[in-house]
Amino acid sequence: MSPLMRRQAAFGVAYITPGMLIFLIFCIAPIFMTLFYSFTEYNLAQPPEWINLENYEKVFSNSQLRRALFNTVIYVIITVPLQTLLAMFVANFLAEYLNNRYGRFLRSVIFIPTLCSYVAAASVWEVILASKGGLLNEIIGIFGLGPFNWLGEPTSALICVSLVAVWKSVGYFTIIFYAGIMNIDVSVREAALIDGATPRQRFWKLTVPLLKPITYLNVTLGIIWSFQAFDIVYKLTGGGPFGATSTVAYIIYAYAFLDFRIGYASAVAILLLVVILIIHFIQQHFFEGKED
Amino acid sequence: MIRRERRGWRFVVGVILVTFFAFLCIVPLVYMVLVSFAETTTMYIKWDDIRLFDFFNYRYLFENREFGRPILNSLIVVVISVIAVDLISCTMAYGFEKKPIPGKKSIFNLVLATMMIPTQVVFISLYVMMRQWHLLNTYIALVIPLVGAFGVFMMRQFIRSVPNDFIEAAQIDGCSEIRIYTRIVLPMVKPARITLAIFTFNSAWNALLWPLIAATKNEMHTLTVATSSLTSYFATNYGPPMAAATLSFIVPFVLYCLMQKEFVEGIALGGVKG
């Protein structure tokens, strides 16, 4: 290495060191600490006590947790495909057929729910879905239906939580898809048009394949975020009724910060990490080696 | 431009469906604002109860539930985190992209990999750490998890587009390292920095889980935490919680109205470049 290069490398180290220290201390070290705690019994009052795999053994016989994992999987299965497909169709329509002022106005409106916090979103949906006097029951009451106890019945509560999450995040994915479609070379689309491709052919044979990297990004983000769903559950249902909407992320919160069972909560968190990694690798394989 | 096709009934149905979809997106928020002006003593909300521009529910929040403090806390956290994230992301991204650091590829991948980690895994031990260092209920604790790999990743994409010739020419002219960074690199990636600031603003303003854990004292609650703890007290009066939700929504909304282009382009760029 020449002295000049060495000087530049020294500058580089100076640039990244403060940030790297923050990452190492507050992000990477805690991951390994949590891994360590997952093999211990720790309640913050006494020092952690090593108990080998006991936490993990308990995890697999915990019916509360099995329920939460089941709920989380259902939540992911509802939210990810729905928000991805809705966003793709809406973005395609806006970009291909409504590329005018009205289309841009609709796009701006669709993005607005993304701005509000899950807490605000859940607060208002709680009122809309209220069994007595809620807006939704009032509306379907006009047609002689209901009233339903949307958040009080186990099945409908989980579906409602998932749909509110879709409502909150679909605008975000629409914007990404929209930009992706606009980024497709106009000449490619024009060529397809001149060759007489029908709108349906253009969508399935042109837009969808060319959007693959963006779909991959949206599905990846969607899965990672949905597996960590906490805010909306915390505010909208608090995990109820009877644990019907408790997600893994919610249960980790309850174990760690309400019961102060740090060791046990760590084991659940590590398992969540493993599940997310496995799904990520399957998905990477599924998308045939497309990586960032 | 794509030439106009014959617009049949499919197009009309499409426009109606997308319009309805946009309508569904906005109705709950309009309802939220309307109810925030309503006084409801029963669970049934009547249109007659809504007294637009009579801010009694808002006054109640500030006078009886000290909402000034959580709003101030949220603002402080937002300001510190926007500055911290900008500073850390830009310097790290510049070092990683433009400097010949040995082994930088694996170090950068290590930073990137943290994006895959569920926040819960980090938060458990971060809480233990903050507790031992007596940093719970401080602004520092509230800001720390907002510094993430995303900013470094995003800024690196943009700093890549700063031509090396510019930097080398400045070096030959005897421009100091600090001046190259602050006078050449940073101004050239200003739009990306604004986008990152908006992202940071939104995630800091809307965060729930970490403030819930790290701010155990009432006077350190952020606006989202204060809003989330409201409803339980008002089983039959939806006015105050809706007013709180409106307050927490209005700030990013106004920002969006003022800087719509930056919002949309930032998300779009994140998708296309990532």
pTM assigned to the model: 0.90
The residues in B 144-173 lying below 8 A from A, measured between CB atoms, are: 144-145, 147-149, 152
> Which chain A positions have a beta carbon within 8 Å of B242's beta carbon?
123-124, 127
**Domain annotation covers residue B2:** no
A18/B91 CB distance under 8 A: yes
**Domain annotation covers residue A165:** yes
User: What is the four-CA torsion angle of A81, A86, A91, A94, rounded to 10 degrees?
Assistant: 170
Per-residue confidence (pLDDT) for residue B43, from 0 to 100: 60
Domain residues for the domain of B62 are: 13-273
> Which chain B positions have a beta carbon within 8 Å of A20's beta carbon?
92, 107, 111
Angle at alpha carbon of residue A160, lines to A159 and A164, rounded to 5° = 120
Mean local confidence (pLDDT), A101-115: 92
The domain that contains A158 carries what CATH number? 1.10.3720.10
Put simply, whether A261 touches B (Cβ < 8 Å) is: no
Beta bridge partners of A40: A50
**Domain annotation covers residue B262:** yes
Q: Where are the alpha helices (DSSP H) in B99-133?
A: 104-113, 119-132
The Cα of B209 is separated from the nearest Cα of chain A by a number of Å equal to 7
Residues A73 and A189 both lie in one domain: yes
Contacts of A38 by beta carbon, 8 Å cutoff, 6+ apart: A55, A56, A263, A266, A267, A269, A270
Secondary-structure percent of chain A, ordered helix, strand, coil, rounded to 5: 75, 0, 25
**Domain annotation covers residue A40:** no
**What is the C-alpha separation between A270 and A35, in angstroms, rounded?**
7
DSSP A206: I
**Domain annotation covers residue A47:** no
8 A C-beta contact, residue A96 and residue A231? no
Higher pLDDT, B75 or B272: B75
Residues A120 and A229 both lie in one domain: yes
CA atoms within 13 A on the CB side of A131: 9
**Domain annotation covers residue B108:** yes
Residues A230 and A112 both lie in one domain: yes
**Domain annotation covers residue A106:** yes
pLDDT at B234 over 80: no
Mean local confidence (pLDDT), B248-268: 87
A124/B242 CB distance under 8 A: yes
pLDDT in tens, A32-77: 999 999 999 999 888 898 998 999 999 888 889 999 999 999 999 9
**What is the C-alpha separation between A3 and A35, in angstroms, rounded?**
43
Residues A105 and A182 both lie in one domain: yes
Residues A21 and A124 both lie in one domain: no
Residues A12 and A92 both lie in one domain: no
Measured in whole angstroms, how far is the alpha carbon of residue B261 from the centre of its chain? Answer: 16
CA atoms within 13 A on the CB side of B26: 15
pLDDT at B236 over 70: no
Put simply, whether A11 touches B (Cβ < 8 Å) is: yes
B1/A34 CB distance under 8 A: no
Higher pLDDT, A285 or A55: A55
The Cα of B120 is separated from the nearest Cα of chain A by a number of Å equal to 6
Residues A166 and A25 both lie in one domain: no
Contacts of B108 by beta carbon, 8 Å cutoff, 6+ apart: B96, B152, B156
Put simply, whether A194 touches B (Cβ < 8 Å) is: no
Q: Domain tally for chain A?
A: 2
Q: What percent of chain B has pLDDT over 90?
A: 54
Instruction: Report the 10 Å Cβ neighbour count for B17.
Output: 13
Put simply, whether B50 touches A (Cβ < 8 Å) is: no
Put simply, whether A254 touches B (Cβ < 8 Å) is: no
A256/B227 CB distance under 8 A: no
Residues A17 and A119 both lie in one domain: no
Q: Domain tally for chain B?
A: 1
Contacts of A148 by beta carbon, 8 Å cutoff, 6+ apart: A131, A137, A140, A156
Which run of H or of E encompasses A149? none
Residues A1 and A103 both lie in one domain: no
A234/B208 CB distance under 8 A: yes
Q: Binning pLDDT at 50, 70 and 90, where does residue B274 land?
A: very low
Which run of H or of E encompasses A49? strand A49-50
Among the residue ranges A95-104, A225-234, B73-82, the one predicted with the least confidence is A95-104
**Domain annotation covers residue B98:** yes
Closest CA to A109 of A63, A39, A171: A171
The mean of the pLDDT values for chain A is 89
One-letter amino acid of B244: A
Residues A2 and A90 both lie in one domain: no
A34/B11 CB distance under 8 A: no
φ/ψ of A239, rounded to 5, equals 90, -15
**What is the C-alpha separation between B113 and A81, in angstroms, rounded?**
25
**Domain annotation covers residue A49:** no
Q: Binning pLDDT at 50, 70 and 90, where does residue B71 land?
A: very high
**Domain annotation covers residue B56:** yes
Mean local confidence (pLDDT), B182-204: 91
The domain that contains B52 carries what CATH number? 1.10.3720.10
Give the DSSP per-residue string, A237-256.
TTT-STTTT--HHHHHHIII
Instruction: Report the 10 Å Cβ neighbour count for A244.
Output: 19
Q: Which token pair is B132?
A: 């031992």
Domain residues for the domain of A7 are: 1-35
A30/B129 CB distance under 8 A: yes
Residues A71 and A20 both lie in one domain: no
Closest partner CB to A31 (pick from B5, B122, B264): B122
Q: Which token pair is B194?
A: 């604004």
> Which chain B positions have a beta carbon within 8 Å of A167's beta carbon?
24-25, 28
Among all chains, which residue has been given the structure tokens 């908006």? B198
**Domain annotation covers residue B5:** no
pLDDT in tens, A173-215: 999 999 888 888 778 878 887 888 888 888 888 888 888 888 9
**Domain annotation covers residue B3:** no
Residues A135 and A9 both lie in one domain: no
